[in-house]
Structure 1
Amino acid sequence: MRLIETKLKDCFVVEPNVFADDRGYFFESYNEEKFNKALGQNINFVQDNESFSSKGVLRGLHFQKGEFAQAKLVRVIKGEVLDVAVDLRPDSPSFGKYESVVLTGENKKQFFVPRGFAHGFVVLSDTAIFSYKCDNFYNKESEGGLIFNDKTLNIDWKLPESECLLSEKDKILPTFETLF
């Protein structure tokens, strides 16, 4: 496993060691001891989530506030997504910046998004199965969000806005400026 730094402080792309031959492949998708050693922190994931989505589905940008903030380790089991993290930590040198990573069932890359970040993804393939580990339990009263097409952030989602399919809740999320 290799951690690759991003332009966002504390946010990493994780490349697992994949062993492939003519029979298929094997890789260790998560090992707590190796992950925490590489990260230099002790992250204890307590909840796994999975979603299935069609092309153009955009989920995000979401976060949990306060004591229910969550770090996430995300990956794609099947398909292709553009995964995005936005640093919402006012004291961070990368505050207000975003990072995007293409995650696929083929490249097997993962993205570690620490607490204090908004997170979202859009499906680029016909369908995708998306999986993520969280280090804290979900709490409905602590959920927050940021509108995907925020002009301050200017995120390139790799799809025209007209092709992005959002939930009713995600269509009315606040802008970055109104959060801060």
Structure 2
Amino acid sequence: MIFTEHYDSPLGGILLAADEIGLTGLWLDGQKYFGGHLPAECRTQETPILTEARRWLDIYFTGREQDFLPPLHPVGSVFRQAVWKILLQIPYGKTTTYGEIARQLAAQQGLERMSAQAVGGAVGHNEISIIIPCHRVVGTNGSLTGYAGGIDKKIKLLELEHTDMSRFFVPKKGTARK
């Protein structure tokens, strides 16, 4: 059985979903792939896992780093699971690139290289956004590419974490950075 609960965040509504093992989904209202793996029959009910997820979000939205994770149970292929595991290792307030994740996966699997585009697909299909921090992944040139919740929300999440955003905003030719 999947249990759901709504959470009101500074970014708008969030739908949380969990089974008996862990959190299976965290979607911002209107997010791409919203509720992708939700079965037709879900029960709106508070559970200990959903309570932990809400507690995690309460701390997160105060701009503080947490020292715990709620139980997680993401649903996806072995490849996606490997990418999501790497996402969980990105430190609070830091970013990495799709290419860096691809290189790390290739090294783990003993491969010469891995497709950054394939990594991008796995990152984009992360159904436990924010907690599995896909918003911390940027383009190779530091561009704020892709976020299923919207680039505006990605920026707000990175700002909330006090991420140094200066590398993301390259001045136009003939202008100086402030």
TM-score in terms of structure 2 length: 0.29
| Structure of higher RCO (CA pairs closer than 8 Å, 6+ residues apart) | 1
By percentage of residues, which structure has more helix? 2
By percentage of residues, which structure has more strand? 1
Q: Which has the larger radius of gyration?
A: 2
